[in-house]
Structure 1
Amino acid sequence: MVQWRDSKVTRDGVDLAVRTWSEDRSPTVVLVHGYPDANHVWEKVAERLSQDFKVVAYDVRGAGNSSVPKGRAAYKLRELRDDLHAVMDAVCPDEKVHLVAHDWGSIQTWESVTDPGAEQRIASYTTLSGPCLDHVGQWMKANLKQNPAAVLNQLSHSWYIGAFQLPVLAPTLWKAGLAKAWPGVLKRTENLDIEPSPSQLKDGVHGIELYRANMLPCLLKPRERYTKVPVQLIVAREDNYVRPNMLEDLPKWTDQLWRRELDTGHWGPLQQYPDVTARWVREFIQHIEGAPASAPLKRAKVSANSLQGTDAGKVVLVTGAGSGIGRETALAFGRRGATVLCTDINADAAAATASIITAEGGNALSRKCDVSNTRSMETLAGYVEKEFGALDIVINNAGIGLSGGLLDTSVKDWQQVLGVNLWGVIHGSRLFARQMIDQGKAGHIVNVASAAAFMPSRILPAYATSKSAVLMLSECLRAELAEYRIGVSAICPGIINTPIAGNTRFVGVDDEEQSRRRENAQKFYQRRAFTPDRVAQAIVRAVENNQAVVPVSPEAIGMQWLGRLSPTLARNLAQVEITP
């Protein structure tokens, strides 16, 4: 643990309590807390950042160990701005600083960041869950006519701001027991485990003046506030107070913007995912200081065309993307604006799919990967983490066909089918779910099973077994990952016209009969004419609606219901040998 030093900065009779980590390092990072907090909320993030930077956090006026000024005017944004500059001048008078702020700390810090010439003193700014009030006022004015529902949605989440304007209610609640109950409130609403703060009553009562002194003047008469300071926006997508759509207009106010998202609540970036937040802040600061941008940071840079499409900003991995359902699924997400990583054991086929996406104006990459090979999948996961961070959507699609009785199926045949169809799904699920959890990503995993999972078959023991296992694995995984807001869907296609029919092996027959059966199977699938793009659309809907099990095609639906309603009939039908 890196030790800190406590000190005091005084401005106009107000004492500001300052805490400093790693004084011998450079550059300097200044952390500004929100309401109803004090600088202790930064401890986890500060510990991690102090390995590389000099880190400073202070209690804003009226909070923590800082003194309480008199009068509402003492909480105006200009006073908070001058406090920040007094701290900066005291801890690093001869260098630019990097600012990181949360909640009201972010709101007040925008006042400094948008001052003319701010870039001469401030090297970068990372903002979490605290917009510029002038930007909010401009956003509300623009959307009252264009999108009033968005404004009403935000107002419904900001109900407490109106309550804070009342002269007695809010302070009385804090004094009546809310201060003592605050850790329990955060546990119930944010699932946070925090220690009680000795200054919680003070923080809650006096911090109300921040809202009373600034909210109405800024929102009713918003200024146009631009900045030349590089800004990193970290969005808590599950924030119950600052809704993400209120931050959509930020590119209007700065031409140097990076946007990154965490699937967590208001305090999550500081308390639940301090490793992720510290890493993102570190990468951003080091880049502003001259280091090459990491691959994830490059993709976080907001440009004029980077926010187009339903899935813009998302990263989707598709295994078996070289043909059939995998290719059509990759194309579908590419057309929705996602960056698609196309993988296949056939590198040229994966590259061809990626080329189609890029030719259509989308973003795609390709990688060779054998899903049945543990090392190959772990290498892929390492590449993904380095280049993208946690994925938004994983499509475990790669699969192979095998037909023939159990007694004709060799151990090698079983190993191959289970290796691709089952172990490929296991590898993809465990590796990428772990990254989602560790990085606060409420993503989605799609596992492509088959209608063969619903009913037994004497001619498909290996294939049906592998797909039934995928279905059950998906159901188990869905239950396990629900608490992390990660969805899991099992897709069960029926007879789909894909290359798998022509590539299926038929065991227990000679080469001539093998060729004949493949040819007949391929003709049958072509006559069925149920195309893989329809499965791709079902996958897209499954992700959008978080569907658990999705049979695709009439025969798949029929097999699902037959297996449920009349298992005896399903077993009898399984005895019928249907060969191409």
Structure 2
Amino acid sequence: MSVRGLPTARERRISTGGIELCVAELGDPTRPTVVLVHGYPDSKEVWSEVATRLAESFHVVLYDVRGHGRSTAPVPLRGGFTLEKLTDDFLAVADAVSPDRPVHLVGHDWGSVQGWEFVTVGRTEGRIASFTSMSGPSLDHFGHWIKRRTMRPTPRRVGQLLGQGAKSWYVYLLHTPVLPELAWRGPLGRYWPGILQRVEKVPQGDYPTASLPQDAARGAWLYRDNVRARLRRPRVDAHAHAPVQLITPTGDAFLSERLYDDLDEWVPRLTRRSLAAKHWVPRTRPDQLGTWITDFVETHEGGADGSGGSGRRQTGARPATGPYAEHFAGRPVLVTGAASGIGRATALAFAAAGARVVAADRDAVGAAGTAEACLLGGALDAWAEVVDVSDEQAMEKLAEKVAAEYGVVDVLVNNAGIGLSGPFLDTSSEDWKKVLDVNLWGVIHGCRIFGGQMAERGQGGHIVNIASAAAYLPSRALPAYSTSKAAVLMLSECLRAELAGRDIGVTAVCPGIVNTNITATARFAGVDEMEEKRRQKKTARLYGLRNYPPEKVADAVLRAVVRNQAVVPVTPEARAAHLLSRVSPGLLRAFARIRPRL
């Protein structure tokens, strides 16, 4: 019988403790084995999208937890779902599918709760090569977390307890007799798929399966058999004996991020990842999970040379150590205008965070140099692509190539731009066309094409448009440039409203006066070539004296994505002008009349 959503899976039955577990396998059995454990009220089909991606590189194993899906249930149910018995099940599966090599364990929700037990008890030591946890804490760690906050209360700790207590409302209900069973076998079981679609934005497909009402009713014993006992008497030896990757959805409605504040003392080898998503990430973000799991498994599967068990190229010369590594490691990011200045600094900042960076620019040599620097700076991978952002067809071809070869980007930074100074009456139509083609149409092409891919994928993303303080700071010397950047700012605001429902954030970054080479290449309308060169040198010298580094803008870009900020003025003068534009626009208009001395 084929597994729903996994037509190529091989299914078998494994007997353990008086029950039979339904186990599905994909991929080459000679490759490293990855075991996926589902949560509540799911069955193994919750992993189908992730499993398909992982099967390209690994031997992937999924099984229905006892009492779920096509696995049989213990009799009686009471006492049949203890963590000790669930550990027996896991060892039976591991011994059957990978008898000679340790397995890489991945758990979500209650699958993660089980995984924490598996990776911290002595009898599984040597059988687990790595553990990836998402949306499910160790009950022992949780118990100690509660005790510390109740024994030494502070306003902050009390707030954390109350916050998690509110998020755990469903746990109390699941401990009530009979009521959960009646709800799941009745109206809740019928409405649950629609609830997931509306609230969690889980796409329709092979999940959930028809066994959901029965699975959820039986699965209530996971809570009843374990939660109160472990929270009252948590183990003091619950230290992980394998490396752990913690993936934390920042929008999880059931678990607070603060639950993991003390995790480092329990896990000697801990890698943290943070994802802007809700609870059911195996269904809403399978691409990102596939990338992170693959990278983590290969990191801990390879030999001393770090080559990786599946032969994947390990390109970075050193691991990601940037402050935003937990947010961006392994995520595909594309930066336009990446050959120099803010674009190059931004690409390198994402590289330091372990991202997979596409450095795009019409300067082929400069883009290649940035990509090489990204590899040396910690990027999981980096590529250079040549493109003129003002060319719509070229941008479409680039997007197709990037999606096919590297995957749909999670973050797009529309940075490419050119400078143009000079009075309006001296600015020709050709000058206007050049600056608008790059500064505005380049951003439009990027947002429409790459943003369209993000929307179609349905897994969220973020678009950063590099505008300018000139977008809200009028100047008689910059009519064309200011107009292009003001349009970018308003476009960003409009897109932010439109794409919010698709979990795609949009940010306009307004740097201000930054020491980049845009001043040396800026055009000056209404003057001859000699005068233009003189003004370019003088402007470049002034910007050099200001000496605000592009690296600070890059840091603001990454911070804006993490915080999903709307408009980000960067330099002090950009922030001051932004404030004045809101509280005293007349003062800015008065300043705009001053003739600049060049």
Which range, TM-score by smaller chain?
0.7 to 0.9
Task: Give the alignment partner of residue 144 of structure 2, picking from 132, 138, 145.
Answer: 138
Q: Which moved more, 1:207-216 or 1:313-322?
A: 313-322
The CA distance in 1 between the partners of 2:381 and 2:297, in whole Å, is: 27
The CA distance in 1 between the partners of 2:25 and 2:141, in whole Å, is: 32
Matched, 1:261 2:280: no
Residue 418 of structure 1 corresponds to: 436
Residue 292 of structure 1 corresponds to: 307
The CA distance in 2 between the partners of 1:92 and 1:346, in whole Å, is: 47
Q: Which moved more, 1:29-38 or 1:533-542?
A: 533-542
Residue 470 of structure 1 corresponds to: 488
The 1:138–1:166 alpha-carbon spacing in structure 2 relative to 1, beyond 3 Å, is same
Q: Which moved more, 1:116-125 or 1:419-428?
A: 419-428
Residue 552 of structure 1 corresponds to: 574
Residue 43 of structure 1 corresponds to: 48
State how many pairs are aligned.
560
Q: Is the Cα contact below 8 Å between 1:371 and 1:398 reproduced in 2?
A: no
The CA distance in 2 between the partners of 1:3 and 1:350, in whole Å, is: 40
In the TM superposition, what whole-angstrom CA distance separates every residue of 1:148-182 from its partner, at most 9, and x where no partner exists? 13333222211111222222332232234211111
Residue 274 of structure 1 corresponds to: 286
Residue 172 of structure 1 corresponds to: 182
Task: Give the alignment partner of residue 135 of structure 2, picking from 125, 129, 133.
Answer: 129
Give the secondary-structure state (helix, strand or coil) at the position aligned to 1:552. helix
Residue 91 of structure 2 corresponds to: 85
Matched, 1:242 2:272: no
Amino acid of the structure 1 residue aligned with 2:214: K
Q: CA deviation at 1:104?
A: 1.0
Q: Which moved more, 1:364-373 or 1:25-34?
A: 364-373
Q: CA deviation at 1:498?
A: 8.1
Q: CA deviation at 1:82?
A: 0.7
Matched, 1:69 2:78: no
Q: Is the Cα contact below 8 Å between 1:20 and 1:57 reproduced in 2?
A: yes
Residue 448 of structure 1 corresponds to: 467
Give the secondary-structure state (helix, strand or coil) at the position aligned to 1:75. coil
Amino acid of the structure 1 residue aligned with 2:209: S
Q: CA deviation at 1:576?
A: 10
Q: Is the Cα contact below 8 Å between 2:45 and 2:208 reproduced in 1?
A: no
Residue 155 of structure 1 corresponds to: 165
The 1:119–1:241 alpha-carbon spacing in structure 2 relative to 1, beyond 3 Å, is same
Normalization by structure 1: what TM-score?
0.76
Matched, 1:182 2:192: yes
Amino acid of the structure 2 residue aligned with 1:258: T
Normalization by structure 2: what TM-score?
0.74
Amino acid of the structure 1 residue aligned with 2:227: M
The CA distance in 2 between the partners of 1:49 and 1:364, in whole Å, is: 17
Q: Structure 2: which 5+ residue stretches go unaligned?
A: 1-5
Q: CA deviation at 1:574?
A: 9.5
Matched, 1:34 2:48: no
The CA distance in 1 between the partners of 2:17 and 2:494, in whole Å, is: 61
Q: CA deviation at 1:250?
A: 3.2
The CA distance in 1 between the partners of 2:536 and 2:28, in whole Å, is: 72
Q: Which moved more, 1:179-188 or 1:399-408?
A: 399-408
Percent identity over the alignment is: 38
Q: CA deviation at 1:219?
A: 1.4
Q: Is the Cα contact below 8 Å between 1:116 and 1:227 reproduced in 2?
A: no
Amino acid of the structure 1 residue aligned with 2:254: Y
Q: CA deviation at 1:48?
A: 3.2
The CA distance in 2 between the partners of 1:71 and 1:555, in whole Å, is: 67
Q: Is the Cα contact below 8 Å between 2:414 and 2:443 reproduced in 1?
A: no
Amino acid of the structure 1 residue aligned with 2:196: L
Residue 3 of structure 2 corresponds to: none
In the TM superposition, what whole-angstrom CA distance separates every residue of 1:236-275 from its partner, at most 9, and x where no partner exists? 2222123333234333333333333332221122x12323
The CA distance in 1 between the partners of 2:347 and 2:328, in whole Å, is: 13
Q: Which moved more, 1:182-191 or 1:482-491?
A: 482-491
Matched, 1:479 2:497: yes
Amino acid of the structure 1 residue aligned with 2:89: D
The CA distance in 2 between the partners of 1:229 and 1:539, in whole Å, is: 35
The CA distance in 1 between the partners of 2:29 and 2:325, in whole Å, is: 44
Residue 204 of structure 1 corresponds to: 216
Q: Structure 1: which 5+ residue stretches go unaligned?
A: none
Q: Is the Cα contact below 8 Å between 1:34 and 1:104 reproduced in 2?
A: yes
Give the secondary-structure state (helix, strand or coil) at the position aligned to 1:87. helix
In the TM superposition, what whole-angstrom CA distance separates every residue of 1:369-415 from its partner, at most 9, and x where no partner exists? 9885567999899899999995668473754233244565363x445
Residue 103 of structure 1 corresponds to: 109
Q: Is the Cα contact below 8 Å between 2:514 and 2:550 reproduced in 1?
A: no
Q: CA deviation at 1:81?
A: 0.7
The CA distance in 2 between the partners of 1:54 and 1:205, in whole Å, is: 31
The CA distance in 2 between the partners of 1:171 and 1:300, in whole Å, is: 52
What is the correspondence of 1:318-397 to structure 2 with a 5 Å cutoff?
Answer: 372=388, 394=413, 396=415
Q: Is the Cα contact below 8 Å between 2:336 and 2:343 reproduced in 1?
A: yes
The 1:297–1:257 alpha-carbon spacing in structure 2 relative to 1, beyond 3 Å, is farther
The 1:525–1:575 alpha-carbon spacing in structure 2 relative to 1, beyond 3 Å, is same
Q: Which moved more, 1:76-85 or 1:46-55?
A: 46-55
Amino acid of the structure 1 residue aligned with 2:136: G
Residue 527 of structure 2 corresponds to: 509
